[in-house]
Amino acid sequence: MLSLKHSLRWVYLLAACNVIIILAIMVYLDATPLDQEVRLTIRESIQSLTNKFDFTYLKGINKDSKGSAQDTGYTLEPGNVKFKFVNPKAKQGDPKEILEQNTRKYTEVMNQKIAGPKDFDLDLIRAPSDPGTYEHANATIVALVRNSEAIGIGRTIRKFERSFNGKFKYPYTFINDEPFSDKFKKKMQSYSDAPMEFITIPRELWDRPESIDAKKQDELMQIMEDHDVGYAKMLSYHNMCRFYLGNFYLLPELQKYRYYWRIEPNVDFYTDIKYDVFKYMEAKKRIYGFTINLYDIDRSVETLWPETLKFLNKGDNYKYVNKNGAFQWLLDDLQNPRNAKTANGYSTCHFWSNFEIGDMNFFRSEAYMEWFKHLDSTGKFYYERWGDAPVHSIGLALFADKKDIHWFRDIGYSHDPYLNCPHSDDTSGCKTGLLGQWEHLLDQNCMANWIDYSMEDTIGIY
C-alpha cells in the first residue's frame, strides 16, 4: 500500500501532466491555421474542462488564511483595502477573442425565451382593475427635464403609459433647475391622469460650488473636449451629474418616497409590463434595477477609482464594503484593457442610468453618502467629467450585495443608440438581442461580464 506521502506525489504528478497536455493543446492551436469559430469553441471547451478541476485539497493551493486579494479578489483591512481581477471564469484570448466570447454569451442569454421574473408570484402584483383604489408601493416616476424638452419627454410618457403606468398610475415627479411653465405642466397633464408634482431645484443643490476654480475647470475641460469626451464643456451636465449623485435624494419633495424610476426624453419602451415593478423590487428587497450595461469613456473617469480606494483606506471606511459585491465586474480588463489602464484599474463598466429603478434608502445610507462627500470634496465632478452612471455603478458594486442588483431583462427599452430587447411574447417593435444600431458598438457591451461574474443563475429568475 502506498503511503500518504507517495500518494500525494502521484496526485501532483497527474495534475502536472494535465496542465502540460492543456498547454500543448493551446500551443498547437496557436500554431495551426483554424477557422476562428472552431478555435474559440476549442478554447471554451478547454476552459470548461479546467474549471471542473478541483485542486483545493492540495496544500497551499487556492487557500490563504488571510483571504488575500490574490485568491478572493479583495483585501479588507484598516488602511489596506485593495481589489484584484482574478479572472474567475478563466477566460483566455486577446481582446478581439474575448469580445467574440462575450458576444456569444450575451446572444445566447438574450435568445432564451422569457416572460416576467420567476422568483416571485407575479399574480400577487398584477395590474389592478381600478388604479384609483390600488395600494401603491412607496414610489414615484422621476424626470429631470427643462421646459424646452416638453415634446421629447411627452413622447416618452406616451410610450411609458402604454407599457406600464397607464395600468398602475404611479405619481410623476418632474424636476427642473428653473420653474416649470404653465404650458409645460398642462402638456404633461394631457399625457396622463396620474398624479403629478413639479419641483424647482434649490440653487444650493444644483449650482457649481463656490470652491470650484472656474478657470481651472475651463482649462481642464478644454483638454477633455480635445480628446472627444462628450459634454466636457457643458456646465449644466456637470451640475446634473453631481445633483443626481448626491443631492437628488435630499430634495424635500422626495423625502416621502423610497423608490424611483428614472425616465428621460425620447426613449422607447417595447414591453407590455403586466406586473408592478416597484412591488417586485420591494418584495425581493432589490435596491437597483437596470436594463443596459456599458463601458464608459475612459478619460472621463481617470481618477474616480483611485479616489474611491483613497476613501476606503481612510479610518474604518473599509467596513462599508459588502463582501458579496460585484468587484470582478468592476475590474475586468480583458475585453477593453485600454479602459482599465486609463481608469487606473476600473473597467469603466456601468449601468446606463437613463433607465434606473432605485431604492433611495441605499443612496441615503451612511456608506454611500460618506463616499459621495469624499468624491465631492475633490472637485472632480468639475475638474474631470465623472458621470452619474459610473459613480452610481461603483457605489452599488462596492456597498451592495450583487444579488440585490437586478437586470430587468424582460423590459424592452431603448435610448439611442443602445437597447435591451428580450425574447418575449410581451415585447414588440425591436429585434431580439440587438444591442445597438451598428455592429461597431458591440465592444461597448459589458453585459456578458455581469452575467459571468455577478449572476449566479441566468435561468433562475427568468
Instruction: State the sign of the Cα–Cα–Cα–Cα dihedral 185, 189, 192, 198.
Output: positive
**pLDDT tens-place string over residues 393-426:** 999 999 999 999 999 999 999 999 999 999 999 9
What is the predicted pLDDT for the residue at 68?
A: 57
- Distance in angstroms (rounded) separating the CA atoms of residues 410 and 424: 7
Mean of pLDDT values over 150-170? 98
Residue-wise pLDDT tens digits, 171-229: 999 999 999 999 999 999 999 999 999 999 999 999 999 999 999 999 999 999 999 99
Residue 53 has pLDDT above 60, yes or no: no
Q: What is the pLDDT of residue 36?
A: 42
More confident residue, 40 or 154: 154
Quickly state the pLDDT bin for 46 (edges 50, 70, 90): very low
Q: Looking at residues 291-299, what average pLDDT do you find?
A: 97
In the prediction, which pLDDT does 437 show? Answer: 82
Instruction: Note the pLDDT of residue 17.
Output: 55
Binned at pLDDT 50, 70 and 90, residue 72 comes out as confident
Write the pLDDT tens digit of every residue in 357-393: 999 999 999 999 999 999 999 999 999 999 999 999 9
Predicted TM-score (pTM) of the model is 0.86
pLDDT surpasses 90 at 234? yes
456 — pLDDT class (breaks 50, 70, 90): confident
pLDDT of residue 440: 86
Q: Is there a catalytic annotation at residue 204?
A: no
Write down the pLDDT at residue 319. 98
The one catalytic residue in 44, 356, 366, 439 is 356
Largest Cα–Cα separation, the chain: 92
Mean pLDDT of all residues in the chain?
89
pLDDT higher than threshold 80 for residue 33:
no
What are 87-110's pLDDT values in tens digits?
Answer: 999 999 999 999 999 999 999 999
Measured in degrees and rounded to the nearest 5, phi and psi for residue 143 equal -135, 115
What pLDDT does 38 receive?
A: 45
Ramachandran angles phi, psi of 437, nearest 5° = -75, -25
Stretch 3-8: mean pLDDT? 46
What pLDDT is attached to residue 405? 98
Asked if residue 45 has pLDDT above 60, the reply is: no
- Give percent above pLDDT 90 in the chain: 82
- Residue 229 CA to residue 53 CA, distance in Å, equals 45
What residues have CB less than 8 Å from 16, skipping those under 6 apart?
Answer: none
pLDDT at 22: 52
pLDDT at 55 over 90: no
CA angle at 8 for the pair 6 and 13, rounded to the nearest 5°: 95
**Amino acid present at 26:** M
State the average pLDDT over residues 111-127. Answer: 96
Choice among 11-25, 142-156, 343-357 with the minimum mean pLDDT: 11-25
